[in-house]
A and B are shown apart, each in its own frame.
Chain A
């Protein structure tokens, strides 16, 4: 989705403002919002890509006006409503009305360390061989899906070179839609910054992780723009 979360290359947000000795959380509600997101995530009612998609598809004005953990709260509420885990009435007055849905048991304190240590690998086995190898010249496809994607706008339709092959990873574009993991080969693609921005950049290269469906070959001679 061409959402406002896709910020690479936007201008006018002002300087970066690092905070000296920044605390991990600035308010008690941020602590609880953080933990609620992880705790509800442990029920496995949605996947990571659906979670990101929920946050990123907030209305643009609301997204920009919200702090980071406010976005986390809004995203969580949206997913809980979609899944019927809570009702709008319950959210409005905080009073329990409907019984809980039959979901896995809540994460317990003594399982937290092991759960975090285990993490959640997104690498999968894929019988199909990778189309590209390190050094291959590729071009990102010019795609504009209205649904979730991880190909930023600033590097669509751009020539680049494969610098890493990571293996087959869960494909967010399908996983966010609940259409399955549909693992795809994942690469790091190196773009010359001048190809992305023309002369108006101070970067030398920008390196972006791209799944195979985002890429096409440009070694077949159908690319007059590149030598």
Chain B
């Protein structure tokens, strides 16, 4: 079925063991097509290849979920910052140096013992670039986009997350230019931790709402 294949192809060839005779040649065809396209656009003077390199380098090496982890850790450690983040996320996040493209209008969503927030973009792939970087393939894929709004607990189970029945599951479909960052629940056993220590517990998925923050090793032994 083409839909199933679409999700696999989004995942690319690492799990593509289904005898796609054309898969390899199709990929190299894309390589050739995009290469030809780029050289045409460079020749026309529409794009500068050095600028393209800089764009790629930015999102491959500079912008990623460690930014968001800094935001979350600070909110956990500093009640005033947490309040500001929940009140005006765009300004609070910009104060740490994370702002701009695809993060112009930020909203932070706080998880509690009784409330779990989860973010999706059913229509495309909207995602808060300045704090999380570019979205992973699964976030942009048909399985996640189709199911997050109707069966979030089923999706969470696929991420190994099981929430109690008493927990309210609140899904946010980012259909506009508002970009959402989940403020995950602070793990127990982290009293007095520094922001650096706390940031190490914050995963990308916990800030999308498909995961939880990591549990400290001391708690895992209990």
* B122 adjacent to A186 (CB under 8 Å): no
| A134 in the interface (beta carbon within 8 A) | no
* A205 adjacent to B171 (CB under 8 Å): yes
| B59 in the interface (beta carbon within 8 A) | yes
* Size category, A interface: 35 or more
| B141 in the interface (beta carbon within 8 A) | yes
Tell which of A106, A108, A203 touches B46, judged by Cβ atoms closer than 8 Å.
A106
* B123 adjacent to A5 (CB under 8 Å): yes
B 22-47 binary contact with A (CB < 8 Å = 1; else 0) = 00000100110111111111011111
The residues of B that contact A8 with a CB separation of less than 8 Å are: 120, 122-123, 145-146, 148-150, 173
Tell which of A67, A169, A207 touches B12, judged by Cβ atoms closer than 8 Å.
A67
Q: How far is the CA of A17 from the CA of B37 in the complex (A)?
A: 31
A29 with B138, Cβ < 8 A, contacts A13-B4, A204-B168 known: no
With both beta carbons as reference points, the residue of chain A lying nearest to B38 in the complex is identified as A32
| A201 in the interface (beta carbon within 8 A) | yes
Least distance between A10 CB and chain B CB atoms (Å) = 4
The residues of B that contact A15 with a CB separation of less than 8 Å are: 143, 158
A100 with B155, Cβ < 8 A, contacts A27-B27, A29-B35 known: no
Q: How far is the CA of A40 from the CA of B34 in the complex (A)?
A: 14
| A6 in the interface (beta carbon within 8 A) | yes
Tell which of B30, B55, B153 touches A73, judged by Cβ atoms closer than 8 Å.
B30
Least distance between B105 CB and chain A CB atoms (Å) = 7
| B174 in the interface (beta carbon within 8 A) | yes
| B191 in the interface (beta carbon within 8 A) | no
The residues of A that contact B37 with a CB separation of less than 8 Å are: 36, 73, 77, 91, 94
Q: Which residues of A, 148-187, contact B by the 8 Å Cβ criterion?
A: 150-152, 154, 164, 166, 169-170, 172, 186
A 7-19 binary contact with B (CB < 8 Å = 1; else 0) = 1111111111111
With both beta carbons as reference points, the residue of chain A lying nearest to B57 in the complex is identified as A112
Question: A29, A117, A164 — which one has the most chain B CB atoms within 10 A of its CB?
Answer: A29
The residues of B that contact A120 with a CB separation of less than 8 Å are: 101, 104
Interface size on B, residues (CB 8 A): 93
| B133 in the interface (beta carbon within 8 A) | yes
Q: How far is the CA of A5 from the CA of B59 in the complex (A)?
A: 25
Tell which of A36, A91, A108, A123 touches B38, judged by Cβ atoms closer than 8 Å.
A36
* B176 adjacent to A211 (CB under 8 Å): yes
* B149 adjacent to A9 (CB under 8 Å): yes
| A146 in the interface (beta carbon within 8 A) | no
The residues of A that contact B14 with a CB separation of less than 8 Å are: 19
* B4 adjacent to A209 (CB under 8 Å): no
B 102-123 binary contact with A (CB < 8 Å = 1; else 0) = 1111010000000000001011
* B3 adjacent to A64 (CB under 8 Å): yes
* B46 adjacent to A202 (CB under 8 Å): no
| B185 in the interface (beta carbon within 8 A) | no
* A204 adjacent to B170 (CB under 8 Å): yes
Q: Which residues of A, 10-52, contact B by the 8 Å Cβ criterion?
A: 10-19, 22, 24-29, 31-36, 38-40, 43, 52
| A208 in the interface (beta carbon within 8 A) | yes
Q: How far is the CA of A78 from the CA of B185 in the complex (A)?
A: 44
Tell which of A5, A38, A94, A111 touches B40, judged by Cβ atoms closer than 8 Å.
A94
The residues of B that contact A17 with a CB separation of less than 8 Å are: 7-8, 11, 15, 138, 141, 143
| A118 in the interface (beta carbon within 8 A) | yes
Question: Beyond the given A32-B35, A94-B39, A164-B107, could you list 18 further A-B residue pairs with CB under 8 A, ordered by the A residue number?
Answer: A5-B123, A8-B173, A14-B4, A15-B143, A18-B210, A19-B136, A19-B137, A19-B138, A32-B38, A91-B40, A103-B46, A107-B51, A108-B50, A150-B176, A201-B150, A203-B151, A204-B169, A209-B173
Query: Which 5 interchain pairs have the tightest Cβ spacing?
Result: A8-B122, A202-B153, A209-B176, A94-B36, A35-B52
